Amino acid sequence: MTFELPLEKYSVSIRETALGQGKNVKRIGGENTLPFHSFEGLLPNSPGLAMEILDMEPENWAPAILEPFSDVISDPADWAKKCVELYGAEILFLRLASTDPLGHDTSPQHAAEVVTRVNGAVDVPLIVWGTGAEEKDIEVLTAVAQACAEKNLLLGPMLKGNYEEIAKAALEHGHSVVAQASMDANLTKELNIVLCKFFPADKIVIDPTSSALGYGMEYTFSIIEEIKQFGLKDRDKMMLMPIFADVGMDCWRTKEAKQSQTMGILWEAITGMTFLLGGANLIVLRHPDALKLIKEIISE
């Protein structure tokens, strides 16, 4: 008598979203099974692993995370090149921290210039991230979309209060977007429904927001898992987008990660890998050793 492993098959697939363009385009999503379940379905694209850079010198980063970039943090373009050429980053995440209206409040034009320089310095896909200030992000991300027309950037975060303006700029200039709804699957679906009335569904990535190991990771994991299963199991077309998680920022501001470099790297790697197991298709990391560790785990 032979034993047949019970398999669960799904009749739909997560939409595939392309980041960047040309020979270095990175595709995420496209799977018709749960994370790493290659024995049950197809996993055409490996998870996207992005390294974070800032448009200004970090003001509150722990020494352990600053050390690998100490010689380049004054220039975002040099920082980008080091991430790609030395640390093997396949995607870059550029946080426009200087545009925060409660901080340096730099202009949309300045942001557009920085993004243009970074995009010209490297040949990997680029995620461009505002500060979450709804009105300012409209101005900033619209200027970036125009300056880098047809480069297929991934722009975010796009919120309920500013999705229409940012999505229209992205659509006009050939970019994809990240739709963010904080830790609520129903709010995620609502945002996707209104967005899909005029924006292509295969150019939308979902951000349910994230948290770090020991600081709410389990709840975040459950939301990511829920969204993925709504899409695959319930065949909900508004939940079939790839999922994004901003891991590095949440991990490196915890007291545990700040205690030592080794602790921080493990804190980030464990959090990131957990989200990938939950269903995330694209995560953002800060430390190159965390990136290396997750790549090794995935390859094994």
Q: Please tell me what DSSP assigns to residue 202.
A: G
Helices 288-299 and 261-278, interaxial angle, to 10°?
Answer: 40
What tens digit of pLDDT does each residue of 110-162 get?
A: 999 999 999 999 999 999 999 999 999 999 999 999 999 999 999 999 999 99
Domain spans in the chain, listed from the N-terminal domain onward: 16-299
How does the average pLDDT of the chain come out, rounded? 97
Neighbours of 72 (CB within 10 A): 17
Architecture of domain 16-299: Alpha-Beta Barrel (3.20)
pLDDT at 82 over 80: yes
- Cα Rg of the chain (Å, integer): 18
pTM: 0.97
Cα–Cα distance, 116 to 216 (Å, whole number): 36
What tens digit of pLDDT does each residue of 176-221 get?
A: 999 999 999 999 999 999 999 999 999 999 999 999 999 999 999 9
| Predicted pLDDT of residue 155 | 98
